[in-house]
Amino acid sequence: MAHVAGVLHCGQMGAAVAAVLRGISEAHPDVVKDVIVTLEGRSEASRERATAAGVRVVASLDDLCKEATMLVSIVPPAHAMDVAKACIAHGFRGLYCDMNAVASTTSRQIGRIMHENECVYVDGAVLGPPPRSQYYDQQQSQQSSADQERKPPLIALAGKDTGEVERVFALTDAVRVKVVGGRIGQASSMKMCYAAYTKGVSALMLNIAALATAEDIGASLAEEWGESQPEAMPRLMRAVNSTPSKAWRFEGEMMEMASAFQYHDLASGFAEGAAHVYHSIAGFKGRAPGDVDVAEVARRMLGWDEALGLNTGSGDGGNGGDGDGDVGGDASGKPKVLCLHGWRTSASIMKYQFRDFPADVEYVFVDACHPASGPPHGVVAAYFEPPFFEWWDKDDSNAYTGLDASLKYIADINRTQGPFVGVAGFSQGAALAVLLCAMMQHDRTTAPLPDLKFALLTSPFVPGDPSLAHLFKAPLTIPAFVSFGETDYIKSECERCVKSLPNAQVLVHTGGHEVPTKWNGKGVIAALATWLKQQLSTAS
């Protein structure tokens, strides 16, 4: 039979699975003829996701249960049982696949309710991130290399009646599907074990960061991790970048995990501890991924923000502008510094990178005017979501394509949001900052940024386009603060750039191609604070 597939509800995962089902219905209408959702009592965000997925919206849960022959439930774990009972109350009597992050005992309870009411029940779970599809992935052109290389998420199924659900999802490459056992609860247990590693370890890393913050050993710990446990800091940063905005959903999942361990008389305290961690940072719901830093998470977990009366739910994850391409500041009256992000990154990423920079100025973060022409560096791809941008690309002769448009774009920003007393940049953005300083020294009347008093340059290099060589025949006299890592893969280019800047203060930190923070470059941040005060005093 051809199914009318209903999905409960249009959260991030639910909408993505609904979009996959829509793709199946387009290609195989003899298997799935329609995909429906209801937005009754749902948020505007759910409405937007349903629109993006292109599925049909029915007025109510009652309509959904009457039309659908197959229901897929993907809701917060604490609501899984209530949603199942509600579907029965509204007359559903078809195939019900529960894909929620619940313990096997919860899945078996839901299965009994379904069987008692003449429904076919399938125990399911989604392992991995939301699936991508041509219908729902709105940023396909900006996919990171990690996204492009990763395997699709796994839909695990268990029970005696898995055949029909397996048949449906086997018709797409957007997910993998596997029957992991013939007993109801085995797919849910697969999810619990998988999440114990992913979300459980993330909670542990956040707890470690909070303790290190409380004892003021964060920088020392990060330095030692870099020496002896190089995978630890990236693991922490992945947790910080991806977890806080979703933590409100994870508390219930961790308690289900605790139940799963307790059922077999296994230690469950760490799952309960993880639930406590996620409960403590649930207030970050609504914040963008990457908009929260280590220090902010640690303060929230330690209760310091509440004790100080701080409002940490404002959405401001650092200094300066809002990081989404809007160059407006906060009307602070502070001198403005224009911040130019690195190659194939973004303003929001740079705002996160600059989170520990001194607050004596207003940092204005802008996206480059060119979308990234390819995937970003692997580190960026691992930690941050697209879209990504670049200031220029280059051809085989090392000529920079798109540079003229970027210079005009910056001149326009200066006219509407300047003047800027300083320019800051990282990597490609630092090279652009060096070029802007050279253009100002060469001819202030035509320079995009004619009023610069200083430059903050992290991992800079001298632009290599042959047509720009005349701008660097003489040393650049602007005061500059330059930092780069001892293991920076462009260290030699950074050192060559420094030779063009006789008035630069140069600090080499122990890291690589990265922006210094209080965690990985405490001495650099302290030196920058002193230097910046001196420059502002001179400029005034």
Closest CA to 271 of 285, 288, 283, 253: 253
Burial (CB < 10 A; 0-12, 13-18, 19+), residue 272, is middle
d(CA 475, CA 471): 9
Q: Which of 427, 459, 483, 500 is catalytic?
A: 427
Contacts of 464 (CB under 8 A, 6+ apart): 394, 398
Asked whether the bond before 130 is cis by omega within 30 degrees of 0, the reply is no
Enter the DSSP assignment of 345. B
Q: What angle do CA 131, 44, 282 make, to 5 degrees?
A: 70
Q: Which residues of 12-34 are buried (b: 16+ CB within 10 A; e: fewer)?
A: bbbbbbbbbbbbbbeeeeebbeb
Q: Which of 123, 188, 488, 509 is catalytic?
A: 488
Half-sphere exposure of 300 (CA within 13 A, CB side): 24
- Say if CB 229 and CB 54 are below 8 A apart: no
For residue 57, the SS3 value is strand
Alpha helices in 281-393 (DSSP H): 294-302, 304-308, 347-353, 378-383
- The token pair at 339 is 């911040």
The residue behind tokens 């989170």 is 355
Q: 392-398: long-range contacts at Cβ-Cβ below 8 A with a sequence spacing of 24 or more?
A: 392/428, 394/464, 394/465, 397/466, 398/464, 398/465, 398/466
| Phi, psi for 234 (deg, rounded to 5) | -60, -35
Contacts of 44 (CB under 8 A, 6+ apart): none
**What is the chain's alpha carbon radius of gyration, rounded to the nearest angstrom?**
26
- Say if CB 100 and CB 77 are below 8 A apart: yes
Q: Which residues in 332-396 belong to E strands, given as ranges?
A: 336-340, 362-366, 370-371, 389-390, 393-394
First-to-last C-alpha distance (Å) of the chain: 77
Enter the DSSP assignment of 506. E
- Say if CB 391 and CB 403 are below 8 A apart: yes
Closest CA to 460 of 417, 420, 515: 515
Asked whether the bond before 387 is cis by omega within 30 degrees of 0, the reply is yes
Contacts of 80 (CB under 8 A, 6+ apart): 73, 98, 100, 102, 106, 110
488 noted as active-site residue: yes
Q: Which residues are catalytic?
A: 427, 488, 513
